Structures are given as structure tokens and as C-alpha cells.
Amino acid sequence: MKTQKNKILIVGGYGSVGKVIAKILANKLPNKVIIAGRSLEKAQNLIQELDIQALACQVDISASSFPEINFKEVHTTICCIEFLQNDNFIRACIKNKVNYTELATSYEAYQRFIVYAQQLKESEICLIPGVGLMPGLSGIFVQEALTKLKHLKSVQSYVLLGLGENHGLDAIRFMMESADKTFFVKTVNGKELVSSFTDPVKEKMLNENHSRKFYRFDLGDQHIIADLREVTIAETRLAFDSKFITWFIGILKKIGLLKKLSKVNPKTLQKWLARFQFGSDRFTVQSHCKNEEDKEIIYLAEGFNEAHATGVIATYAVLQLYHSKLTGIKRLEEIIPFNDFVEYLKKNQINIKIKER
């Protein structure tokens, strides 16, 4: 009897974002979700905690092979791990005709998929690069703006993150490794080498009464937009909901101490954040899309608990892969109907505001 290829494999499925994805998918598709990671016990405990009908699997995706996984029954995989030590697991998914997506937010993670374009085509499967808040939402906003403005001159995004939630280890590691990083962006002065937590810009979010300072940060969406769109400016800046913490990190950058802080063990910083409440668990993403005639559309997404929101958006991508016959490399904005997506977000406590001017 032929094995049905109807399972969804969640790698890192018991992490802060993975458990959100696991809960939503297992409730929609009982007994078709596999929660995987290095700890079988943690996967089993999560299934009990969430009271869901799912399977547990122990796997190390940094290994050279994965005998624990029966790829013949896996239709789609989502990887909830930011840093893959190698591409062995991705290649295994392609070889076994398994759709693939992941949460990675770095531009480097996005770039490495390009070399697999031909293999994906031959395998007749689909791969969606990083899905979540950023990249993810800004690309969706840009795609929608193009339907109204036809062309864009600039895309400037602002991300506001709350420090009051329990952040996953991968998210903290990414933030710390990017804190003192230099990178190129498309600015009004052309391609320019910049550094994280420099060049602050004051901006007022649509859901706030006062402006706040946002600093440069190496989020992958600005590079992806610069690569794919004929824009003059593609920039993304970051702030925390605590204005004091945002200011303090900017000061540390100026005096050269941020480099030392970025080398602190991520587990140590995770403990500090859990012990002290620096802010709320609110997040906001705002993208300004402007054309040559200076017509502008501002898109804002707001909600609480960044991990939950990331999981909600990622789940949408997984379901698109699971219920369709997409092939090749696709970006999230290429496969979603915008209005339906907005309604989906609203049902999951993420609200979208749009302002044209």
C-alpha cells in the first residue's frame, strides 16, 4: 500500500514560534502534524501541554542524513530554526519532493535558496524563503502598493518590538549577532555601507500620538526589496517599545560598547529579559511606499506577542503550500490574496491600518 504524503513536519516545533504553528495546524489537521527537534521529550510534552493530536519526532537537522524522518509521508516542512549549520536538510527535502519554508530573517538565509531553483523545478515542489514579520509583511505591503501606485521610488519600513515577551533563543541570537553589523542598503545617496543602531530617524506610527527614534538594523526585507524592485530607496529601521532601551543601545553603539554586549551568551540575555520587565509585548510594523510623484501609501500591522504573530503568518504560508500545487521559489507576497490575508490576520488579533496621502 502506497504511503500517503499528507504530513506537515515542524522542525523546532516546540520553540516559542514553533508551538504557535503546531497548535494552529494540529487543530486544523489532526494527526497530520509532526513536531520535531533534538529533544523527543520536549516534543511529546508540548503535545500533552497543547492537548493536540500530533506526532513527535527526534531529529538533528545539522546531521548528514535523517533516517528518523519518513519523507514518503511528509508533504510540507517548516523549519523554525534561524541558523542552519548546513543545507543537508534542505537538500533532503528537495530530493524527497517535500515543500519547504522557514522563519529565517537574515538576507544570507534568503540568498542561499537561489542555487536550488533548477532542482525545485525538476522536483515539482515549492520553497518559500523566510516567512514572518520581516521579511514577510513588508513584501506583502509592497506588492499591494504596486497594484495602486504602479511603480515605487522608495520603501521605508519601521519595526517596533516589545521587550516584555519571552523571546525565543534563536530570535535573541539573531538580534545580538546583528547588533553591531555593517551592511549595504539603497539610500537616497545610492548604495551605502551602514551599521546597525546608527543614523536614527524620527517617525510617528499610525497607532501612536508621538514620534520615536528608529535605528538602522540588518533585517533581510530591505535587501530583498532592493534586489527585486526598481526602487531608489529601500531601508528598514528598528526600535523597541521602551524608548529608554532604544536610546541606551544607541549610546552603547556610539561609545563602542555594543560590540562587547553582542558577544554575551544569548542564554544569559534571555534570562535577563525574563527576569526584568523592560516593556510590553506589543509589536508594530509600518511600511511607507512612495512613487515618483510622491504619492504615498502607509501600511501598518499591529498586535501583541511577536512570536505569536510570526507563527500566525508562517502558518498561512504552510497552508498555502499544503493545499496548492505551487512549484519553484515563491515569495509569500506572490501567493496570497491580500484582502483574504488581512481578514485572516484580523481573526488572529493582528490588525492592519492603511493610510494614503
Q: Alpha helix (H) ranges present in 197-257?
A: 220-228, 243-255
Which residue would you say has higher pLDDT here, 227 or 164?
A: 227
Residue 225 has pLDDT above 70, yes or no: yes
Instruction: Return the ∠ at Cα 133 (arms to 226 and 172), rounded to 5°.
Output: 105
CATH superfamily of 7-130: NAD(P)-binding Rossmann-like Domain (3.40.50.720)
Q: What cell was used for 166?
A: 519571552
Predicted local confidence at residue 172, as pLDDT: 61
Q: Which amino acid is at 109?
A: A
Q: What cell was used for 36?
A: 520535531
Using pLDDT thresholds of 50, 70 and 90, give the confidence band for residue 256: confident
CA atoms of 81 and 61, how far apart (whole Å): 10
- Top mean pLDDT of 167-171, 174-178, 351-355 is at 351-355
Using pLDDT thresholds of 50, 70 and 90, give the confidence band for residue 347: very high
Segments of 21-173 assigned E as strands = 33-37, 55-58, 74-79, 99-102, 126-128, 154-161
* Residues carrying CATH 3.40.50.720, the chain: 7-130
Residue 173 has pLDDT above 90, yes or no: no
Name the 3-class secondary structure at 351: strand
CA atoms of 20 and 10, how far apart (whole Å): 11
DSSP, res 135: I
Q: Which amino acid is at 217?
A: F
Which residue would you say has higher pLDDT here, 91 or 168?
A: 91
Single pTM value for the model:
0.88
Residue 1 has pLDDT above 60, yes or no: no
CATH superfamily of 133-305+341-356: Dihydrodipicolinate Reductase; domain 2 (3.30.360.10)
Per-residue pLDDT of 44-69, as tens digits, reads 999 999 999 999 999 998 898 999 99
The helix (run of H) or strand (run of E) holding residue 139 is helix 138-149
Residues 6+ apart with CB under 8 A from 222: 138, 155, 157, 185, 186, 234, 235, 236
* Residues carrying CATH 3.30.360.10, the chain: 133-305+341-356
Which residue would you say has higher pLDDT here, 28 or 132?
A: 28
CA atoms of 34 and 13, how far apart (whole Å): 8
